Amino acid sequence: MASIKIRYKLGCIYLLLCILLASCDDKDKVECKEVHDGDIVYICTGRYSKKYHSTDKCPGLSKCKASIIETPIEEARTNYKPCRYCIIQ
């Protein structure tokens, strides 16, 4: 009887961990995209911003204290580098 309870508890713990890990993975996923001339990208207007992003949901923009704006890729390339999280090079 005791071994059944132990297996049950371990099974519940394992299931809980799987659920937690799966939900974290889904939340942190960012769809990486190639950007081409004519595409719109996102930049943070903050003083120390250095990257452009393919999506406004990128984790690289999560610490932006200023506003996030859309801009054509051609303009972004002049002053910014591609984000390592969301841009395929």
User: How crowded is residue 35: how many other Cβ atoms within 10 Å of its Cβ?
Assistant: 19
Residue 81 structure tokens: 């580098």
Give the pLDDT of residue 11.
53
Residue-wise pLDDT for 17-70, tens only, equals 444 334 334 445 667 889 999 999 999 999 999 999 999 999 999 999 999 999
pTM score, two decimals?
Answer: 0.66
* Cα end-to-end distance, the chain, whole Å: 58
Give the pLDDT of residue 22.
41
* Across 4-8, 11-15, 19-23, 42-46, least confident range: 19-23
